[in-house]
Chain A
């Protein structure tokens, strides 16, 4: 298994298809620039053919020159046609392994395998296109190697974790969360989006005479005169119809986007960790080790909060398609979220949670600060602008104050024996929960205003995410810091992963941190 291997040969076909796509433009340019009739067409075809041959050749060379080795302790990838690069990633540094199948590779039965190390986005190993079976096989192998390492390393420390002996066919763990088509459509309705108009607007820029103001002006004038003849009722009906149209377009966009992204969303729990599969055209398959979860975030939205819908994300060092955390339940009830969170070792806040409100002084200050620009804008408007216009900034100021007063309802924090909780948001609360033990530092930050008024923002160092509590009265902030620090300082970083918590599955991986300590 330790000899260099190549990726799937079929992957070249995708490279070749890509080069066809790239060839179209130069070919067309060559054809048009040399005159479309007669010789020009042939020149264009020749240029296109040359581009395709060169592109295919390059993708073939790239395939020839890329090898990967599944070693004893690491996985190595050597690549490059002229300049060679060799990258090695030790198993115990791999945060998660994801399989991604875009539409074309999926037709050919290929997947891209990505190894996430949490070393800052985009710098990880990706093997473009193995066959699906190979991909699954490689993932299993990497996981086994990783666990072997852990088992060997921890043998001196304590008995081999029972889970490292778990057979690989325990892959298909229990389903923790799944979304059927009905749920998806509901989710899509809440994902209402008018992005389609932005896209249309962008496309229209390419069309001629659209940017011609006169054409639009004439059209508007014509429409306006037609409207004027309709009478007030018809005008109102027209406006309503327009709004309804917007609503329908936005909802349909939302549903389509959601279905494309989250079709067949399944979150399963296996011995190895959490596994998430989703996507209609581009199918992704991500596995996260459970003990790598640093914290959880329960998000919601302005409207969906009113209907009791929440989302759950896991914060870890790995990134998820550009996002900081992995969404593990995008649209669920709290009752559905609780068991998923429990699997990762987190308790949701309940009636017994001792929530502390943010300082009322902070509420007042923040409301005043947010309203101040509008109030300042009101004065010149009242003096110089036509009468009545000053009401606009004034009402905005009132709105800012009202929104801040309402937001205070959600600004809370809590601390219990093992976890910290923070909640924040303007119209709906976003809750973050972290394990006290897995925090890295505590900072009490104060600006000039908050120093005068005696409250502070408490920042907790969380690996892979941020955790802040706003408007905590200073004395409480100090108490909070003392309590959290007591927990943190009691356990060294190297013992974090094997903390004797209810994470029965979290195979200890001291190798992960032992290396880091040789600083």
Chain B
């Protein structure tokens, strides 16, 4: 198991649970989030620039009144939000259960016992592969939390966890 160095007390650090400290995700996850946010921001920036170009001839508005704020907001989102989101996420793997904590405003703290896992996925998008991270998804039979996903694990760690959970299931059902 991967025990990250004791994290700095982040703003959104979850309150101490009776189940102990959370393990932090792979640091590359924050970078991946940042790139994803940047990719999402690009269409908005282009839209703002197009608007800017159209209204330039009218000379109704001073230059940069549209594109400027959009750029500022995008920069703020790209620099600030991924780090906070990264800090808000964490997991904890126990002998017979996995706990996943996520959410900035709306926090959710889910525990899935290995004994109830139906199947396990390890997914990697192109971006994830570039950063060497993966998403582990546990599927249960319940309607709520039918699939609990834990993004931002190191590639090898995700595979290792999958094997561990699978071994646990096989052992139990013997």
Contact = CB atoms under 8 A, between A and B. Distances in A.
- A and B associate: yes
Interface of A: 317, 439-448, 451, 459-468, 478, 481-482, 485, 488-495, 513-514, 516-517, 519
Contact of A492 (B17, B120, B142, B169): B169
A462 B109 contact: no
Given A463-B143, A482-B18, A519-B119, A443 B111 contact: yes
Contacts of B112: 440-441, 461
Contacts of B105: 447-448
B116 A519 contact: no
- Which of B105, B116, B172 has the most chain A CB atoms inside 10 A of its CB? B116
Given A446-B108, A460-B144, A485-B113, 9 more contacts: A443-B108, A446-B106, A446-B109, A489-B97, A490-B115, A492-B172, A493-B117, A495-B173, A519-B169
Nearest to B115: A492
7 contacts: A442-B111, A447-B105, A459-B145, A460-B144, A461-B142, A462-B144, A493-B173
B143 A444 contact: no
Interface in B123-140: 140
B63 interface: no
A506 to B, nearest CB: 17
B115 A491 contact: yes
A516 B143 CA distance: 17
Contacts of B142: 439-441, 460-463
Nearest to B111: A442
Contacts of B140: 440-441, 461
Between B106, B115, B119, B166, the greatest number of chain A beta carbons within 10 A of the residue's beta carbon is seen for B115
A489 B166 CA distance: 15
A491 B156 CA distance: 29
Taking each of A440, A442, A443, A478, which has the highest tally of chain B beta carbons within 10 Å of its own beta carbon? A440
Contacts of A441: 110-113, 116, 140, 142, 144-145, 148
Interface string B152-172: 000000000000001001101
A478 B141 contact: no
A463 B141 contact: yes
A440 B108 contact: no
Interface in B1-58: 17-19
Contacts of B17: 478
Interface of B: 17-19, 96-97, 105-120, 140-146, 148, 166, 169-170, 172-173
A402 B142 CA distance: 35
A441 B115 CA distance: 10
B144 A466 contact: yes
A488 B169 contact: no
Nearest to B104: A448
Report which residue of A441, A485, A494 has the largest number of chain B beta carbons within 10 angstroms of its beta carbon.
A441
Nearest to A444: B109
A440 B148 CA distance: 11
Given A440-B116, A492-B172, A462 B143 contact: yes
A461 B146 CA distance: 8
Nearest to B121: A519
Contacts of A494: 172-173
A459 B115 contact: no
Nearest to B169: A517
A462 B113 CA distance: 13
A440 B106 contact: no
B145 to A, nearest CB: 4
Nearest to A459: B144
A517 B120 CA distance: 11
B96 A489 contact: yes
A519 B170 CA distance: 9
B65 to A, nearest CB: 30
B145 A461 contact: yes
B106 A493 contact: no
